[in-house]
Structure 1
Amino acid sequence: MVLVLALALWQVAAQAHGSVYFPPPGRIAHRAHELWFSGPVRRAFLTEAAVGDVLPSLGRMAAGFAIAAVAGIGAGVAVGRSRRAYALCNPVLQFARAVPPPALVPVFVVVLDFGTPMQIASIAFSAVWPVLVNTAEGVRDTDPLRLDVAAVLRLNRVERLRFLLLPSALPRIFAGLRLSLSLSLILMVFSELLPGTADGIGYTLTDAQSRSDLLTVWAALLLLGVLGYLLNTALLAVERRVLGRGRSTA
């Protein structure tokens, strides 16, 4: 309701002032439809523009996010299970977590040069820390009484991981995944703003800015906002399903 009211006020104010810098939301939505959702269909009900702009960006983001999720959960479980490993690694994790993600992109440009490998690597490296830290904290917060019961039942390491540690850490893991998803979206756009990119939403944004096409700039921002909302909603749905299943089997 608040969003609808804000858009309505924006629409009225933009039409009243007629500023080229703040076009009405209706024109922005129409421009986004023209760019990505109209024209000849090329693949799986997607237009040629969507295949050329949206899918490459989502592919880079998905690859970086998947690498960060797998590496973060695996390393987080290993660190969280050992007090000594946690004590040794925690200062490094907190330092890496505090570094602004865009600041690391120039390092990857030097190491990997411009291109898709650099973009995926920068996304994965920056997005892995929230998952790793939250997973380690979740594993460490496992109820000691349950650990004692597992020892009495003589559960092996795999059984403890499957039936005790991971279910206990799942809420913290998903909290890290949500933050990692947001960082992945930010780094995806930032990496596509750099030279050497020939497609993607970030490239469209830079190209429109160079041509002073502010309507397309706003349309790209609208698309990014919608994608972020949809991806976060999908992850929340997975979280509710997984956590609900875990509670029902507990």
Structure 2
Amino acid sequence: MRLRSVGTQLLFALALPAVLLTVWWVASAGSTSPFWPPLKDIAAAFPETWTWDKLRTDAVPSLARLGIGYALALVVGIAGGTAIGLSRTLRSFLEPTLEFLRAIPPPILIPIIALFAGYTGWTAKIATIALGCVWPILLNAVEGVRALDEVLVDTARSYRFRRPTYLLHVVLRGSSPQVATGARQALSIGVILMVISELFAADTGLGAAIVQFQRGFAIPQMWTGIILLGVLGFLLSLIFRVVEHRALAWYRGQRQSERGI
């Protein structure tokens, strides 16, 4: 039954992409537009464009910057959200400012960040990714801490848990499902900002490569870059789901026991 369930889920996951690729292949088969080449031409250009050297010089730096910026956002978001969620005074003091900063689209900050860090180099790009990813993580961490089970909190206090033990096993563990929701949202935002940050005077990265293909009228190659971004985004999402599935196994078991499953 387990294998059948996994097979069914895999079939549903692949059905829509297969249908969309088929429609794209058929719809573009007779295209003569230089901006909308046939999918078969794009597929033929893919292995020639994205060789190992090209992946090493463009895809690897992009993923590295994404990883560093995302990791910084996780650390700052979880630490800051935990502190704010535990302190009503701190929450009242910071909430208006946080809402104001959250409402500012991160791409708008790229020119400002570049004034201090420069367009070239990694600093501005990592800062852009981190600033965009931190808000969903931080705000979900705040809500996760505020929604802790009061019985669990009172029990921990009655047993006089030490502060590190209380933070690790009650606060962080109890808020982790909500934090995971924010981290999932932040990952998709990070991929978008990874590309946007590379559109400004960058010489390496997937975003820079796509712009260079567009400026050189290498349209099939440009489309291969867009497809590669989609594939990488899908793989990152899949990796996140695997990690989340393992990390929150206790939470799923708890929910199932509460529902009597």
- Is TM-score (shorter-chain normalized) higher than 0.5? yes
Judged with a 3 Å threshold, the aligned counterparts in structure 2 of structure 1 residues 34 and 188 are, in CA distance, closer, same or farther, namely same
Residue 30 (1) aligns with residue 44 (2): yes
Aligned counterpart, 1:232: 237
Judged with a 3 Å threshold, the aligned counterparts in structure 2 of structure 1 residues 247 and 6 are, in CA distance, closer, same or farther, namely closer
Offset, 1:23: 2.1
Offset, 1:179: 1.3
Whole-angstrom CA distance in 2 between matches of 1:243 and 1:215: 42
Of the three residues 93, 100, 109, the one matched with 1:104 is 109
Secondary structure (helix, strand or coil) at the match of 1:17 reads: coil
RMSD: 1.6
**Deviation by residue 1:75-121 (Cα, 9 ceiling, x = unmatched):** 11111111111122222222222211211111101111112111111
Amino acid of the residue matched to residue 204 of structure 2?
Answer: D
Whole-angstrom CA distance in 1 between matches of 2:226 and 2:238: 18
Amino acid of the residue matched to residue 80 of structure 2?
Answer: A
Offset, 1:59: 0.9
Aligned counterpart, 2:144: 138
Aligned counterpart, 1:193: 199
Which ranges of structure 2 fall in alignment gaps of 5 or more residues?
1-14, 256-261
Secondary structure (helix, strand or coil) at the match of 1:231 reads: helix
Residues 60-99 of structure 1 mapped to structure 2, 5 A cutoff:
60-99=65-104
Alignment size in residue pairs:
240
Q: Normalization by structure 1: what TM-score?
A: 0.91
Aligned counterpart, 1:205: 210
Residue 219 (1) aligns with residue 220 (2): no
Question: Runs of at least 4 residues of structure 1 off by over 3 A?
Answer: 245-250
Offset, 1:249: 8.8
8 Å Cα contact 1:135-1:173 kept in structure 2: yes
Which ranges of structure 1 fall in alignment gaps of 5 or more residues?
38-46
Residues 146-157 of structure 1 mapped to structure 2, 5 A cutoff:
146-157=152-163
Whole-angstrom CA distance in 1 between matches of 2:211 and 2:169: 48
Whole-angstrom CA distance in 2 between matches of 1:17 and 1:248: 53
Of the three residues 9, 16, 26, the one matched with 1:2 is 16
Offset, 1:245: 4.0
Whole-angstrom CA distance in 1 between matches of 2:102 and 2:39: 36
Identity of aligned residues (%): 36
Offset, 1:226: 0.5
Aligned counterpart, 2:173: 167
Secondary structure (helix, strand or coil) at the match of 1:16 reads: coil
Amino acid of the residue matched to residue 203 of structure 1?
Answer: A
8 Å Cα contact 1:167-1:246 kept in structure 2: no
**Deviation by residue 1:145-164 (Cα, 9 ceiling, x = unmatched):** 11111111111221111111
